[in-house]
Amino acid sequence: MILIGQFDSPFVRRVGIALELYALPYEHRPWSTWANAEELAVYSPLRRVPTLLLDDGECLIESSAIGSTARGRSSMKRAASRCNRVDAGRQLRTNNRIKMMTAMSPSPPLG
């Protein structure tokens, strides 16, 4: 899967965090809706991010729809897995990537 969009967008962050938490592997292309408008239009005619390209070539827009798809794929992956142990190393890497994404948020952290 390929996630298109920069993490300064709350919608892109939302999707990035979901993919991390669901442990779904993805490539990130931090394209700008302005600077990369023409490349983006190939996948997202409205030139909006987040845009998620699935491995079968399907292209999803709208963070809520992408989140639902990610949740569905995660459930399928877990069902297919014989062993569901928590991998502490992976959990730490996930936490660090999420921290990196949220550090790009222009608003101060809550709480």
Residues near ligand GSH, by CB under 6 A: 9, 11, 33, 47-50, 62-64
Q: Which is nearer to ligand GSH, 46 or 92 (CB)?
A: 46
Q: Can you say how many angstroms the Cα of residue 33 is from the centroid of all Cα atoms in its chain?
A: 16
Nearer Cβ to ligand GSH, position 11 or 22?
11
Q: Which is nearer to ligand GSH, 24 or 61 (CB)?
A: 61
Nearest alpha-carbon partner for 16 in 107, 108, 100: 100
Write down the least CB distance from residue 76 to ligand GSH, Å.
23
Q: Could you give the angle at which helices 10-21 and 88-103 cross, rounded to 10 degrees?
A: 180
